[in-house]
Amino acid sequence: MNFSGIFGQIVALIGAGAVQWRRLQGVAHEPAWGSAPAVPAAKPQGSIPTLKMPTAAGWPDGQRPEAAPGLKVNAFATDLNHPRWIHVLPNGDVLVAEATQVPVPAESVFDYAMQATMRRAGALGESANRITLLRDADGDGIAERRDIFMEGLNQPFGMAQLGDTFYVGNTDGVVAFPYVAGADRITSPGRKLQAFKPGGHWTRSLLASPDGRKLFVGVGSLTNIAESGMEVEEGRAAIYELDLADGRSRIFADGLRNPVGLAWEPRTGELWTVVNERDGLGDETPPDYLTSVRDGGFYGWPYCYWGQTVDDRVPQDPTAVARAITPAYALGGHTASLGLCWLPAGTLPGFPEGMAIGQHGSWNRSTLSGYKVVFVPFANGRPAGPARDILTGFLASDERVSYGRPVGVALGPDGSVLVADDVGDVIWRVTGEHQG
């Protein structure tokens, strides 16, 4: 009798059961969550870190994510091409940036294995390089009209519209285009306002200041822990402030390995972001995080993490470590928290004010994490309490396949919550169970 095989099957069944139990209980967090997380000691994985991702399967007919009790979800739009980010125009049109990471020459066996794994998981391929306009003219919660709003872009991600200008965060820079209110398409050539180095973490999120005078831009690092040297990381792992009047830009905050989602907290007026932390130190170490962003603040990368915990793999700068700011709220290890959206109280029934976060899901830990949309409640401008699930069910119970992976989160024109799913190629719409 093959006892080792039987034991392995039992362990797998117990693991799958535990995953399902957590889903049924609506538990959004593992270790290393919250304002005072228990971050495990680092366990360096050497030159070949853990590599594990589910196969991208897409959604079977009739299947959709699981909404939290009191909520419901429907497909606002389907058959997109890797939808990553959402922007809602003043007239209610919904813009979706369709783009993905593109392969680069592999420099090692691990690079080759990682690219093969990411391609199988639907996270690497040919980029559509376009923005699609979706319109729900009859108000039934489903977009019946679809137009190509822009095309021929370079891995577009962040979007912003201010007056007669539309801004796009391409991977190589921020571009401004002439815009006419209500336009179905932009074909005029753009004007580059800010150049960025492509490669590595490719997304460039955009957020306009409340007064419309500035744009804030998230730019991730090229590498994991600056293993190619700090010179190639110059100007990266930072959030930029771009003055739209004089065209000048400056680094607003740095030491942020990969800041993606950006949002304003309205009570304090503070800028917040979600950040993807470094790999290769264990399943929960360090956690990805949600944090307010101080002007001039430094958040540790690459020298340290979660405050001033030194990463011994990196040549150190004690002065930088001494001024590293501890993030506000841990979001679990390697959850790939990307989307971020402020939800006023009552946007979803039973939910107070707080931040909705799209967790794209892990690829580099022994047990998968993320693959859901979570909510962090706020009080008096700060996170206040444990996270709650909004949408789950993107991952099969045995964790072998993913039906979808949530990314961008936005407030819909009708007060719903819209979620971009770049494996399911869907925009999901979340409302209260008894809402339209």
What CATH number has the domain bearing residue 199? Answer: 2.120.10.30
Q: How far apart are CA 213 and CA 146, in angstroms?
A: 31
Average pLDDT, the chain: 91
Give the pairing of strands 329-333 and 204-208.
unpaired
Which amino acid type is present at position 53?
Answer: M
* Structural domain harbouring 135: 3-432
Mean per-residue pLDDT for 319-342? 98
Mean per-residue pLDDT for 357-385? 95
pLDDT the model gives residue 179 = 97
Binning the chain into helix, strand and coil, the percentages to the nearest 5 are: 10, 35, 55
Helix (H) / strand (E) containing 355:
strand 354-359
**408 confidence band (pLDDT: 50, 70, 90):** very high
Question: What would the two tokens of residue 17 be?
Answer: 């059961």
φ/ψ of residue 371, rounded to 5: 55, 50
Going through 283-349 in order, the beta strands assigned E by DSSP cover 287-293, 304-305, 309-310, 329-333, 337-343
Q: What confidence tens digit (pLDDT) does each residue in 374-395 have?
A: 999 999 999 999 999 999 999 9
Q: Please give the tally of structural domains in the chain.
A: 1
**3 confidence band (pLDDT: 50, 70, 90):** very low
Q: What confidence tens digit (pLDDT) does each residue in 13-45 have?
A: 333 333 333 333 334 445 799 999 999 999 988
Q: What confidence tens digit (pLDDT) does each residue in 68-109 have?
A: 999 999 999 999 999 999 999 999 999 999 999 887 777 776
Q: Which residues pair with 304 in a beta bridge?
A: 310
Percent of residues, the chain, with pLDDT higher than 70: 91
Task: Choose among 373, 383, 408: nearest CA to 99.
Answer: 408
